[in-house]
Amino acid sequence: MPEITYRDAVIRGIAQEMARDNDVVFLGEDVAKAGGVFKATVGLYEQFGPLRVRDTPISEQAILGAAMGAAMTGLKPIAEIMFSDFFAVCFDYIANEFPKSRYMSNGQTKCPLVVRTGNGAGSRFGAQHSQSVENWCMMIPGLKVVAPSSPVDVIGLLAAAVRDPDPVIFLEHKSLYATKGEVPDGEIVDRLGTAKIVRPGRDATILALALMVPRAVEAAERLKAEHGIDCEVIDVRSLVPLDTQTILASVAKTHRLFTVEENPRLCGWGAEIVSIVADEAFYDLDGPPVRITTPHIPLPAADILEDMVLPTAERIVETVRRSLQS
């Protein structure tokens, strides 16, 4: 199977949907002529033209507001917010407008749009350009939230997001853009609300998202090789809707639960999942669920400090080993 980068998968995913459906339009800052700050939209302007692929002023509220206005009439905009940190600048649309339009209008005005954004840390961008904001989005009823970890999932989930009749927040991880993965030829469409078992195992369940997935997989390989601990790694992929079935089935099998979260600790998605597991599968557990997270701190710019705070394979290995061997 051919390999492509996560970055190229974004391009391919958007192109696939724009070629299929004329109602799909794409707008954002420097997305057209420049091909995106992360080069994840290169060529779309050339392929689909200035009417469908638009550079905007630096006006996030207008970008999301206009996307929603168009969506209310049936267009299916894909809007890019360059860094997920900037959600805070246009949060009104994310929190008050998109997720409530269907509800408040008796189902008349739908909001079939996708907001793509560069999320997460690892590039020494500091406190205002590195955050993992999945938990900001997850807490709002009416929004769907996905975060792919591999090129094939980027395409499949992006297609599913564009085709979904509700607003979807699509979190791309900045530190994954250069990574590669196998992607089959032809159209790819996945399903929202589905997790993926990326490494089956018997002794413990490790849930991870986005950049934390490859780290969890690496940790699982080392746990097996160095300590004989066989972990099942699940890529959660979709926070809303959440695939509780896959998660609960895994916990029923392994009896131990670990979450690996890049977001700051308080109100991270793992806390929600731990709560669900405590409710639904308490007696399946052989030990306390353990959350491995970034501490509850702003992110530092200095490389040495940034590397220290994000969960690493090393930290996952140590945490799982200590927890299982105690």
Ligand X SMILES: Cc1ncc(C[n+]2csc(CCOP(=O)(O)OP(=O)(O)O)c2C)c(N)n1
User: What stretches of the chain show up as alpha helix (H) in DSSP?
Assistant: 6-20, 44-48, 60-72, 91-92, 98-104, 134-138, 151-163, 212-227, 244-254, 269-281, 303-309, 313-325
Segment contacting another protein by CB under 8 A, of 20-28, 85-93, 206-214, 311-319? 85-93
Check residue 86 for interaction with ligand X (CB under 6 A): yes
Interface map 87-106 toward another protein (x if CB under 8 A): -xx-----------------
CB of 34 to ligand X, least distance (A): 10
50 contributes a contact to another protein by CB under 8 A: no
Residues in region 104-123 near another protein by CB under 8 A: 123
List the catalytic residue out of 29, 60, 80, 134.
Answer: 60
Helix H or strand E segment including 261: strand 257-264
| Sequence letter at residue 305 | L
From the list 52-60, 179-187, 216-224, 253-261, the region that binds another protein by CB under 8 A is 52-60
Tell me if residue 129 is catalytic. yes
Binding partner of residue 126 among another protein, ligand X, none, CB cut-off 5 to 8 Å per kind: another protein
- Contact status: 34 vs another protein (CB under 8 A): yes
Distance CA 326, CA 309 (A): 25
- Please select the residue that binds another protein; options are 100, 124, 255, 265, rule is CB under 8 A: 124
| Window of 182-190, 242-250, 279-287, 295-303 that interacts with another protein by CB under 8 A | 295-303
φ and ψ at 132, to 5 degrees? -105, 110
By the rule CB under 6 A, 80 interacts with ligand X? no
Question: What is the DSSP-derived secondary structure letter of residue 145?
Answer: E
What's the farthest any 2 CA atoms get from each other in the chain? 61
Q: Per CB under 8 A, does 203 bind another protein?
A: no
Query: Rounded CA gap, 97 and 42, in Å?
Result: 30
Provide, rounded to whole angstroms, the least separation between the CB of residue 254 and ligand X: 42
Q: Which of 17, 129, 172, 261 is catalytic?
A: 129
Pair of tokens at residue 116: 């793509």
How does DSSP assign 234-257, residue by residue?
EE--EEETT-HHHHHHHHHHH--E
- How far is Cα 261 from Cα 271, in angstroms, rounded to an integer? 10
Neighbour-count burial of 1, counting CB atoms closer than 10 A to its CB (0-12 exposed, 13-18 middle, 19+ buried): exposed
The first and second tokens of residue 6, run together, are 């996560």
Verify cis geometry, omega within 30 degrees of 0, for the bond prior to 241: yes
Residue 34 touches ligand X, criterion: CB under 6 A:
no
Smallest gap from residue 33 Cβ to another protein (A): 6
> Whose Cβ is closer to ligand X: residue 136's or residue 269's?
136
Closest to another protein by CB, 64 or 198: 64
Contact status: 58 vs ligand X (CB under 6 A)? yes
Q: Which of 75, 89, 197, 252 binds ligand X (CB under 6 A)?
A: 89
Q: Copy the structure tokens of residue 67.
A: 């996307």
Among the residue ranges 59-67, 137-145, 224-232, 246-254, the one whose residues contact another protein (CB under 8 A): 59-67
Q: For residue 110, give both structure tokens.
A: 């739908």
What the block records as the tokens of 272 is 């929600």
- Residues engaged in binding another protein (CB under 8 A): 29-30, 33-34, 37, 55-59, 61-62, 85-86, 88-89, 123-129, 295, 297-298, 300-305, 308-309
List contacts with ligand X (CB under 6 A).
29, 58, 60, 82, 86, 89
